[in-house]
Amino acid sequence: MKSASLLTLACLLGSAAFMVCAQDGEVRNRVVIVENVKFDYAQVLNVEPVFQTLRATRTEEHCEPVSTRTLAPVNVTGEEPQEDKGRFGRFMDSVRSIFKREDGTTEEGAPLVEAPAANNGPLLTRDCRIIPVGREFRRPIAYDVDYVYKGTKYRSRLPEDPGNRLKIRVSITPWTGAEPGSAANP
């Protein structure tokens, strides 16, 4: 008995679903509307690049320049500065250098003692410190293009600059009335 009642219930539900499908099948839903497409060219009026800004920071060594005009002269060679001795002083120095030996003594046997180099002069040191330096990079990521086609102005964002003319896709589809699910007609 249960199987007969279940069979009857299944038949009733199946017939109700069939009747709902038959009532909803209008003529406009069974016809496939073909889109008419052609390609044409529009005149470009203006192109504005859209930039992406990237910011980066890195550290650099920044040194203040040292002015040598304010410092005393520095003895770089290690020799004592010589005053202008005149002709006779220069002659005596050249004669004395002839009688020097390889071991640093003179002919009389007395060792030559040279004065140590005086490092009295100030050292040139740079005033350096590490500072962060900000960098900014701009690169175009898109282009806002204003163009006109058959007297109507349009604006689109494109991935590259199109130049003077823009190839466009023109699509025409007939209007068949209100679309399913919409409450009002335009």
State which H helix or E strand residue 23 sits in. Answer: helix 2-24
- The neighbour count for residue 148, using CB atoms within 10 Å, is 13
pLDDT at 121 (0 to 100): 46
More reliable by pLDDT, 59 or 114:
59
Q: Is the pLDDT of residue 49 over 90?
A: yes
pLDDT at 27 (0 to 100): 56
Q: Is the pLDDT of residue 158 over 90?
A: yes
pLDDT at 171 (0 to 100): 93
pLDDT at 150 (0 to 100): 94
CA atoms 132, 138, 141, 144: torsion sign: positive
Structure tokens at 177: 């009335």
| Burial class of residue 166 (count of CB atoms within 10 Å of its CB; 0-12, 13-18, 19+) | buried
Which residues share a beta bridge with 61? Answer: 130
> Sorting pLDDT into bands at 50, 70 and 90, what band is 51?
very high
How far apart CA 86 and CA 92 sit, in angstroms, is: 10
More reliable by pLDDT, 96 or 171:
171
Residue in 168, 171, 167 with CA at minimum distance from that of residue 36? 171
CB distance 45 to 153 below 8 Å: yes
In this predicted model, what pLDDT tens digit does every residue of 98-140 receive, in sequence order?
777 666 555 555 555 454 444 444 455 567 888 898 889 899 9
Q: Is the pLDDT of residue 94 over 80?
A: no
Annotate 73-139 with DSSP letters as a single string: P---S-SPP----HHHHHHHHHHHHHS--TTSB-TTSPBP-PPPPP--SPP---EEEEEEEEEEEEE
CA atoms 174, 177, 181, 183: torsion sign: positive
Q: Is the pLDDT of residue 170 over 90?
A: yes
How far apart CA 97 and CA 69 sit, in angstroms, is: 36
pLDDT at 116 (0 to 100): 47
Q: Is the pLDDT of residue 174 over 50?
A: yes
In this predicted model, what pLDDT tens digit does every residue of 96-109 receive, in sequence order?
777 776 665 555 55
